[in-house]
Structure 1
Amino acid sequence: MNNIQLESVLNELLSPHLIKDYCPNGLQVEGKSEVKKIITGVTACQALIDRAIEEQADALLVHHGFFWKGEAAEIRGMKYRRIKALIESGINLYAYHLPLDVHPTLGNNAKLAELLDIEVLGGLEEGNPNSVAIYGQLAQPLSGEELAARLSIALHREPLHIGDHAPKEIKTLGWCTGGGQDFIELAANKGLDAFISGEISERTVHISRELGIHYFSAGHHATERYGIKSLGEYLADKHNFDVMFIDVDNPV
């Protein structure tokens, strides 16, 4: 498939034009015109780029790409080395951030719900059809310790659990993969029992305790492995691409 045609396929699927984001979504670095082999991964770090070169990929498809709002515009140092490697090898770089978080079946939030056996009920941001944080319910109530164990098994990462003054049982919960810890107040105001995200801030501990809601910090990388992997599997199944997911682990 032509590289521009592939971008159109991805844009039609993920609708980035409907979501205000902190970075450009789509084809960020143009490479060879014909794409057959795609490497998928969470972040376009040097290690993942090097693996894509080793695998003789035509494209790299990631959740975290380049050119973030507020980042320096100059292409030098680390950014130069990454982009130089892509250009010299002819690898196209495609990146989809929030559009991949919110996709109802392939997105990071949707895949986390599948892993944890949560029924999705809706978005936490009222009036926003593309709410980055969502909420749902468990089929059977769990204790905080039991949900922490389920997260550990599903994500291969032991979460940090704050639940000092939270309910003994968790039935309803909200979540936002990645760095969505500040949605905890929306979850508490909605009367949910718990909130899950990838990261934690110092303030999150106090909010959890004072609003009486469980909080689970389950890893930014760990909670966002599965959307990009699922997107690659979709491209392999629907468009016959040769796709390989490479997990460059990150403890954050």
Structure 2
Amino acid sequence: MMVKREEIYSFLNDFFSSRTRQDVSNNGMQVEGNEYVSKIVFAVDACQRVFDIAAERGADMLIVHHGISWGGGLKRITDYHQRRLKTLLKANISLLAYHLPLDAHGEIGNNAILADMLALTDRQYFFMYDGEPIGFYGNLPKACAADTLAQTLKIKLNSECKVLPGKNGDLVRSLGIVSGSGADAFEECAELGLDALLTGEVGHKHVHPAWETGVTIIAAGHYASETTGIKALQEKTQKQFKVECEFIDCPTGY
């Protein structure tokens, strides 16, 4: 089955309409390819390895969370930028990227899916980014040790989790969730009286302040924590258009 490129693009823009704005990622169509689409591949990151696989597998469209155009766009099309674009253009592959819209979406966003995985209740938005809340917080069905929660996430995300216990101990009942580079949200977690924060990656600068505020941080990996939304978007797109869809797994180790 073949679908017009613009029909898919219009559907995605409408789907993310409640979260559409131009954040630093330049959401939407970043490279225009085939007018008709019979195969779509999905990935977390737009990178050469993913582009090569997409071309090898005959994709007409690639949809990612992290695109190649940020802020003012590409300043110079040289070196790896040139090679990336050459691969896409030669294979006539469209590239679409959805960054904050896919973090924040209440149904299929990275943070919403992570919250679903943990059966988070009393869910509310929090953690403002560029004037918009992108994370969720709520309560686990039952309090558990942070290490137990990390083990659950390891199984569900296929990713090693790092636990930084807060000074109040590692028992977790209330939890904030901000995927990717969301460790700065620990301060708002502390203000809300939450026990812990689930994010993707944590830095040296977060260790002492988080401990001192009493917030335990669980870092599940930037990549792993953001496979959730793009996989859910793949499922939704496939149901809508009945075209062949595939996820390209290209972990970064972070």
- When residues 233 and 129 of structure 1 are mapped into structure 2, their CA distance, relative to the original with a 3 A threshold, is farther
How far, CA to CA, are the matches of 1:128 and 1:73 in structure 2?
Answer: 23
CA distance in 2, matches of 1:92, 1:24: 15
Say if 2:32 and 2:94, in contact at 8 Å, map to a contact too.
yes
Tell me if structure 1 keeps the 8 A contact 2:26–2:71. Answer: no
Q: What is residue 213 of structure 2 aligned with on the other side?
A: 211
Of 34-43 and 158-167, more deviation after overlay is shown by: 158-167
Moved over 6 A (4+): 126-129
1:75 and 2:77 matched? yes
Letter in 2 for 1:147: L
What RMSD, in angstroms, separates the aligned Cα atoms of the two structures? 1.9
Q: 1:116, CA displacement in angstroms?
A: 2.3
Give matches, 1:86-165, under 5 Å: 86-119=88-121, 121-125=123-127, 130-165=132-167
TM-score, normalised to structure 2's length? Answer: 0.93
Structure 2: stretches of 5+ with no match in the other structure: none
- CA deviations on 1:185-206 (whole Å, 9 max, x unpaired) are 0011100000011111111111
**Could you tell me whether the CA contact under 8 Å between 1:67 and 1:73 is conserved in 2?**
no
Partner Cα separation in structure 1 for residue 96 and residue 127 of structure 2 = 28
Q: What residue number does 2:199 align with?
A: 197
> Which deviates more, 7-16 or 163-172?
163-172
1:130 deviates by 4.4
Distance in 1 of aligned mates of 2:11 and 2:122: 26
Tell me, in whole angstroms, the C-alpha distance in 2 between the residues paired with 1:118 and 1:48.
33
The counterpart of 1:226, out of the listed 228, 236, 239, is 228
Distance 1:95 1:126, change over 3 A: closer
* Residues 43-58 of structure 1 mapped to structure 2, 5 A cutoff: 43-58=45-60
The question of whether the paired residues in 2 share the 8 Å contact of 1:16 and 1:25 is answered with no
Structure 1 length normalisation: TM-score? Answer: 0.94
Deviation at 1:128, TM superposition (A): 9.3
How far is the alpha carbon of 1:69 from its aligned partner? Answer: 2.3
Distance (whole Å) between structure 2 residues aligned to residue 219 and residue 55 of structure 1: 27
Report the residue type matching 1:156 in the other structure.
N
Q: Gapped runs of 5+ residues in structure 1?
A: none
**Percentage of pairs with the same residue:** 36
For 2:76 and 2:228, how far apart are their aligned partners in 1? 32
User: 1:183-234: CA deviations, max 9, x gaps?
Assistant: 1100111000000111111111112111011101110000001111111111
Which shifted more, 128-137 or 52-61? 128-137
Query: 1:131 aligns to what SS in structure 2?
Result: strand
Higher strand proportion, which one? 2
Give the equivalent residue in structure 2 for 1:178: 180
Between stretches 17-26 and 177-186, larger displacement belongs to 17-26
